[in-house]
Amino acid sequence: MNLFHVDDAGCLFISPAIEDWSLLASKQIDTIFDLEGGLDTGVPTVPDQCLYVYFPIYDEALPNLSKLSGLVSLGASLIQDGHRVLSHCGMGFNRSALLAGVILHRLGMSGPAAVERLRQRRPGALFNEKFAAYLLSL
């Protein structure tokens, strides 16, 4: 399992499916947005340790944008407060990059810069043209 650091502060990551929770703990990631179908195995259950948000979306059309905006607000707010956030999906290319890109935008990066950053840090990211076009429009 690879983690791809996508912001300058070291607080926002994307990845494919979670296989090793100890890797997330070693990076002090305490918030996970799971965008793939099926809950992850081994989600930590210690109180106040891990915020796990399950919002499965298809790697096709854009998801409900008001719900996406809510996730973005939560992610950006947590990052601003010093938390480390992981956005993940099955392969770590499109769904996770979409959410991370909109979070980057909410934190002040232009949409085109977010697309460029994600593609630089995660080669192959955003090959879903609808997701890329949405981010480019921000």
Q: List CB contacts of 26: < 8 A, sequence separation 6 or more.
A: none
Whole-number Å distance between alpha carbons of 65 and 48 = 28
Question: Beta strands of 18-111 (E only): which ranges?
Answer: 31-34, 51-54, 85-88
Q: State the residue for tokens 């918030």.
A: 31
Task: Provide the pLDDT for residue 127.
Answer: 98
88 neighbors 27 (Cβ within 8 angstroms): no
Q: Is the pLDDT of residue 10 over 90?
A: yes
Quick one: which H or E segment has residue 131? helix 129-136
Span 39-93, pLDDT tens digits: 999 999 999 999 999 999 999 999 999 999 999 999 999 999 999 999 999 999 9
**pLDDT at position 7:** 97
Q: Which two tokens stand for residue 56?
A: 């499965």
**Average pLDDT, integer, range 22-44:** 95
Tokens of 94: 């499109």
Which of 3, 21, 17, 6 has its CA nearest to residue 98? 6
Residue 1 has pLDDT above 90, yes or no: no
Give burial (CB, 10 Å; 0-12/13-18/19+) of 113. middle
Is it the case that residue 11 has pLDDT exceeding 90?
A: yes
pLDDT > 90? residue 23:
yes
Indicate whether 22 pLDDT > 90: yes
Question: 98-117, pLDDT tens digit by residue?
Answer: 999 999 999 999 999 999 99
* Residue-level pLDDT at 102: 98
**Domain ranges (residues) in the chain:** 4-136
The sheet carrying 85-88 orders its strands as: 4-5, 12-15, 85-88, 31-34, 51-54
- The answer to whether residues 15 and 92 touch, using CB atoms and an 8 Å cutoff, is yes
What is the mean pLDDT of the segment spanning 34-41? 94
Q: Which CATH architecture has domain 4-136?
A: Alpha-Beta Complex (3.90)
Q: What proportion of the chain, given as a percentage, has pLDDT over 90? A: 98
Q: State residue 64 phi and psi, 5-degree precision.
A: -55, 115
